[in-house]
Chains A and B, each alone.
Chain A
């Protein structure tokens, strides 16, 4: 579907801005940029360019406007929703060479970073300072902070610490018209509409972030980590409800269902009973003084709600081990089935038992196996549908099941994405989540920033001329 929309003049102009070694225009070298973590839709950019400064980004954007070609920013390309897909080709602005940590100011509790800084690099740079950057999406070892800002990333600690937008104080951005503008800054807030909040999570459709002021969070004094093993999903979700009801906000509250437990056992032998219906990983953190009481309360609640067993981590090594089973969950799934796809729905926390029941029913109806591992504290589900991609009929059933699950999330008062974003993957679902008026207002909002629509076209809003694509393959499976 790729037809070259850029001229050799544009390429030589780009080379004039950044130098030949930072422009890719050979087809062979652009291939890897034709998709991100979402591999169903592919389109190669016509050229990829690697700026190192804000001024270079601005010059590139001006050039794209002069040549009327679309342009799209890209960080590490870990989007699971096609956020980096260059719809319509054009210029891909890859920000991975803007990777300086510009400033760390502990007194005023902020850091300034360039967009290409990998999330975990900031954590590493802060190690030992007593502070950290709280948002830690599970892809934090690879994803960039620029990308986190674009998608308002979450992670396992959002229940207590919030998502990216709660930790972004401001940023500098190159706008669609090439102007460089600063929104917010080192102070906690400003006057007027909260443009920082409005732009975080806009999936690269409004501006290209070139520098970010992030808030730093004090390291907790300690942790208490527990793992509850339950005989029924209801008991597990009841425990979650009771814990929250008791006024405890865990730093993390993750749940794995029987399917995952079996897979984990096969792979790593954690010693879980194979008939356990659900396992809860619960972590509280904060002041050392309060932790034992919270732990005792949680153990007590889980036991009262029918937990068969509650394991506690006695030290860091054991804590690491308990987390390992959560973190390895996806890897372990690979052993259950040749292919799998992950969904990203959200429901109110109290609707978890309902939605899990429905997911089981939907799986049965479409004859596909579905296992669940998710951020239970936030009601953020990641049902994993197992299948064999070589079986076309099965693939169709997988898609049908995925869609039905997401519709069920909407019906339960939830959303179709808690952290992956809309991108191109869920563009059609926007119509189910929002009214035409809602979408029209969103379109107007975009027009205020991106009136020509050539910055990240075809993303997020179904109205913006995106080809209403029909999905023929589920997400998160083998590439190509």
Chain B
């Protein structure tokens, strides 16, 4: 019948007979099937198939949980294709919490996956081997960096040598920014400039620290310029988002606990995050790990203190940067900033404070670029389509610089720009702000 899960469902070894049955059924019921979210969804915009739309996916998940729809390859594919960008949450007038449906559903699917699949080289080496450990990651990237410096990458790309790498690794290599500048690690404490207005802790994560250490430096300097004392607690680690989304909720929780312990919450006004994806994850520790274990309160306390850097600066009242930057720039909304954290205006407001900067509105700015965590590795075809669409839109603005606040987006857009030989700078808002402060 309608509106309730069927009481009798087939039995299986898993605590719930069917995937999705652990999900609070009310979350499904929140969706009134109005379809107002469809055109906000990147995969639906590309494919026009409602099974690849939020409404469709909710229907599929609920149908599977009800035992009404068979969990076959097609259904799995439609769910796999979801970017978890949560544009649908922004669009939904009924307040459907899509992330709280797809994330646990996927986690359950992953847990049910046959052991063979779970232990493929990609998961073992890249996901669990590298992502949590920034030094390992930096080292892993090191040869690539040298290769890039020497122009070998280009050589490899031209000669087709790159194609010899396993496909997913090949994509990872293609995403590397060039050239990677080697910067020293951030110290544990940086003093405020001028009158101190706040004391904050900076979250540096894993991927981002490995690939964008310069942006962390920029962020720290911008915070200093704004009168913030910046702490960089050494015990922190990967936020765990990639693991959680890959269905590894237990390792993810361990990372969360480690982070919760690492930050001296009583000593700081806020924990500042400059990478949208990490920020969204940290803010949601509470409902991602609802288990009432000993560390629950600590995780919740951390979540409560987490602020996106743009959001924080705007609330603090930013000190106007004075150095002029004469550039045409456009801003791309990172999904995990705009949709997951609802931070849309703040980065624009900060950028428009930079003298000389011409900020042009990007068409379809709220549509995912296809990076979406490891999506560009797992669903390369859709990821590429969305990257092309994003770059077409960027090029249409005539901007020479695109600004975005997420590591994945930066890499994705850079890769696509490189692929089509577009002269495009891809930077984080903090990079530009820092430049303006330093020049002013």
- One of A76, A94, A116, A389 near B3 (C-beta < 8 A): A389
Task: Say whether A96 faces chain B, with CB atoms less than 8 Å apart.
Answer: yes
Interface string of B28-57 (1 = CB under 8 A from A): 011111111111100010011111010110
- One of B35, B48, B51 near A99 (C-beta < 8 A): B48
- One of B3, B36, B47, B62 near A142 (C-beta < 8 A): B36
Asked whether B60 lies within 8 Å of A76 as measured between CB atoms, the reply is no
What chain A residues lie within 8 Å of B363 (beta carbons)?
Answer: 124
- Docked Cα-Cα span, A120 to B62, in Å, equals 29
Interface string of B1-42 (1 = CB under 8 A from A): 011000000000000000000000000011111111111100
Task: Say whether B152 faces chain A, with CB atoms less than 8 Å apart.
Answer: no
Interface residues of A (CB under 8 A from B): 24, 26-29, 31-33, 35-37, 39, 50, 76-78, 80, 94, 96-97, 99, 116, 118, 120-121, 124, 139, 141-142, 328, 330-331, 334, 389-390, 473, 476-480
- Docked Cα-Cα span, A476 to B32, in Å, equals 7
- Docked Cα-Cα span, A37 to B38, in Å, equals 12
Asked whether A479 lies within 8 Å of B40 as measured between CB atoms, the reply is no
Task: Say whether B119 faces chain A, with CB atoms less than 8 Å apart.
Answer: no
Asked whether B39 lies within 8 Å of A120 as measured between CB atoms, the reply is yes
Asked whether B59 lies within 8 Å of A479 as measured between CB atoms, the reply is yes
What chain B residues lie within 8 Å of A37 (beta carbons)?
Answer: 32-35
Asked whether A330 lies within 8 Å of B74 as measured between CB atoms, the reply is no
Report the minimum CB–CB distance from A88 to chain B (whole Å): 20
For B56, the closest partner residue in chain A by CB is A32
Known A28-B72, A479-B33, A480-B33; 14 more pairs at CB < 8 Å? A24-B49, A24-B51, A29-B51, A29-B78, A35-B33, A37-B32, A96-B49, A141-B36, A141-B40, A142-B36, A142-B38, A142-B40, A389-B3, A478-B30
Task: Say whether B93 faces chain A, with CB atoms less than 8 Å apart.
Answer: yes
- Docked Cα-Cα span, A478 to B91, in Å, equals 17
- Docked Cα-Cα span, A77 to B50, in Å, equals 9
- Docked Cα-Cα span, A139 to B51, in Å, equals 20
Asked whether A142 lies within 8 Å of B51 as measured between CB atoms, the reply is no
What chain A residues lie within 8 Å of B75 (beta carbons)?
Answer: 28-29
Query: What class of interface size applies to chain B in its complex with A?
Result: 35 or more
Task: Say whether B95 faces chain A, with CB atoms less than 8 Å apart.
Answer: yes
Given contacts A32-B50, A32-B51, contact A479 B31 (CB under 8 A): yes
For B58, the closest partner residue in chain A by CB is A479
- One of B3, B62, B94 near A334 (C-beta < 8 A): B94
What chain B residues lie within 8 Å of A477 (beta carbons)?
Answer: 32
What chain A residues lie within 8 Å of B2 (beta carbons)?
Answer: 473, 480
What chain B residues lie within 8 Å of A476 (beta carbons)?
Answer: 32, 34
Given contacts A28-B69, A142-B38, contact A50 B48 (CB under 8 A): yes
What chain A residues lie within 8 Å of B60 (beta carbons)?
Answer: 28, 31-32
Report the minimum CB–CB distance from A319 to chain B (whole Å): 16
Interface string of B64-83 (1 = CB under 8 A from A): 00001110101100100000
What chain B residues lie within 8 Å of A28 (beta carbons)?
Answer: 60, 63, 69-70, 72, 74-75
Asked whether B48 lies within 8 Å of A94 as measured between CB atoms, the reply is yes
